[in-house]
Amino acid sequence: MLFEHGWMPLRAAGSGSTTLPAVDLVAGNGKKCIAIECKSISGDKQYFDKEEIKQIKTFARKFGADPIIGVRFDNIGWYFIDLKDLVKGAGKNYFVSLESAQEKGFSFNNLIEKYK
């Protein structure tokens, strides 16, 4: 989808299985670079622990990319969320709910428009 809109995406194989900070997808369009951590869920919430968010931020900062969470809700579709818009849960965890994604997140088309 990104390639069809002028972006060059690169799937980062090994995300979650390396000791170094990593994300699932990096994409650039010659002007902007985005680092996306992707999740696909069947429920209505996706949780992230503090360490996972820290690693996404570290990767994005060192790579020179904007960090984004992409969540695909089954039977609904993709929402993209800036890290600052994640909901802080109990303790040190964060989450994205369908409700918060619809409120603060953006669609794929808005992602392309926002970071062009």
User: Which residues are catalytically annotated?
Assistant: 15
CB 2 within 8 A of CB 10: no
Query: What are the residues whose beta carbons fall under 8 Å from the beta carbon of 37, sequence distance 6 or more?
Result: 15, 23, 24, 52, 56, 67, 68, 69, 70
